[in-house]
Structure 1
Amino acid sequence: MSYEDYDDRPELPSAAGDPDAEKFEPNDDWLRNAPKELQIEAMRQWFYARYQDPANDTPYNGREGGYLFIHGGPYDPDEEIQERFSDVVEFDVMEELISDLASEHGDQWAPVDHDQDYSEWEYEEALSQIEDDGSPISVLTQKLGRVEEILTAPAPDHIKQMITQLVHGAAIAALEAYLLEVTVWRALNNDGSLRSFVENNTDPKLGGATFKLSEIHQKMDGLKKQVFAYLQTYVWHRLDDVKTVFENSFKIKFPNVLELRGDILVRHDIVHRGGKNKAGDLVAVTPEDVREVTERIKIFAKALEAEFEEKNERALQ
Structure 2
Amino acid sequence: MSLTDRIIEMQSRPPEPDPAAFSDMATREVDDGWLATAPQSEQTKAMRLWFLERYCDPQTETPYNSDAGAYFFLRGGPYDPNDVLQERFDNVVSYEVIAELVDELHQEVGHEWAPTELTAEDEWDDVFVDRPDGPIQRLEERLVELRTMTELQGLPMTRILLRQLVYAAVITTLETFLWEQAAYWLERDAAALGRLIQQHPQTQQRISQLGGDSEGNRATIAAELTQGLKAKVWHRWEKNGPFLGHLLGITMPSHAALEAPTKIRHDIAHRGGKDTEHNPHNISQASVDELIAVVTSYAQEVQAAINGRQA
TM-score, normalised via structure 2 length: 0.62
Q: Which residue of 2 aligns with 1:287?
A: 285
Give the AA of the match of 1:180: W
State whether residues 199 and 249 of structure 1, in contact with CA within 8 Å, keep that contact through their aligned partners in structure 2: no
Q: Give the CA deviation at 1:246.
A: 2.2
Q: Which residue of 2 aligns with 1:233?
A: 231
1:9 aligns with 2:6: yes
Tell me the secondary structure at the aligned position of residue 210 of structure 2. Answer: coil
Give the AA of the match of 2:53: R
Q: Give the CA deviation at 1:308.
A: 2.7
CA distance 1:141–1:221, shift in 2 (3 Å)? same
Give the AA of the match of 1:269: D
Give the AA of the match of 1:9: R
Q: Which residue of 1 aligns with 2:165?
A: 166
Q: Deviations over 1:23-82 (max 9, x none)?
A: 6xxxxx9xxxxxxxxxxxxxxxx68993499xxxxxxxxxxx965xxxxx86969889xx
Separation in 1, partners of 2:117, 2:257: 29
1:256 aligns with 2:254: yes
Q: Which residue of 2 aligns with 1:211?
A: 210
Separation in 2, partners of 1:131, 1:90: 44
State whether residues 74 and 109 of structure 1, in contact with CA within 8 Å, keep that contact through their aligned partners in structure 2: no
State whether residues 254 and 304 of structure 1, in contact with CA within 8 Å, keep that contact through their aligned partners in structure 2: yes
Taking the TM superposition and a 5 Å limit, the aligned residue runs for 1:1-317 are: 1=1, 9-10=6-7, 22=25, 50-51=53-54, 107-111=114-118, 126=127, 129-131=128-130, 134-203=133-202, 207-208=206-207, 210-212=209-211, 216-221=214-219, 224-313=222-311
Q: Give the CA deviation at 1:176.
A: 0.8
Give the AA of the match of 2:6: R
State whether residues 200 and 249 of structure 1, in contact with CA within 8 Å, keep that contact through their aligned partners in structure 2: no
CA distance 1:91–1:138, shift in 2 (3 Å)? closer
Separation in 2, partners of 1:250, 1:226: 17
Q: Give the CA deviation at 1:85.
A: 10
State whether residues 206 and 230 of structure 1, in contact with CA within 8 Å, keep that contact through their aligned partners in structure 2: no
Q: Give the CA deviation at 1:252.
A: 3.0
CA distance 1:155–1:236, shift in 2 (3 Å)? same
Tell me the secondary structure at the aligned position of residue 9 of structure 1. Answer: helix
Give the AA of the match of 1:107: A
Separation in 2, partners of 1:312, 1:253: 14
Separation in 2, partners of 1:233, 1:278: 26
State whether residues 52 and 109 of structure 1, in contact with CA within 8 Å, keep that contact through their aligned partners in structure 2: yes
Q: Deviations over 1:225-245 (max 9, x none)?
A: 333212111111111111121
Q: Give the CA deviation at 1:291.
A: 0.6
State whether residues 75 and 110 of structure 1, in contact with CA within 8 Å, keep that contact through their aligned partners in structure 2: no
Give the AA of the match of 2:258: L
Separation in 2, partners of 1:78, 1:275: 27
TM-score, normalised via structure 1 length: 0.61
State whether residues 198 and 249 of structure 1, in contact with CA within 8 Å, keep that contact through their aligned partners in structure 2: no
Aligned-residue Cα RMSD (Å) equals: 4.7
Separation in 1, partners of 2:271, 2:77: 18
Tell me the secondary structure at the aligned position of residue 130 of structure 1. Answer: coil
Q: Give the CA deviation at 1:178.
A: 0.5
Separation in 1, partners of 2:302, 2:266: 24
Gaps of 5+ in 2: 29-40, 42-48, 57-72, 85-97, 120-124
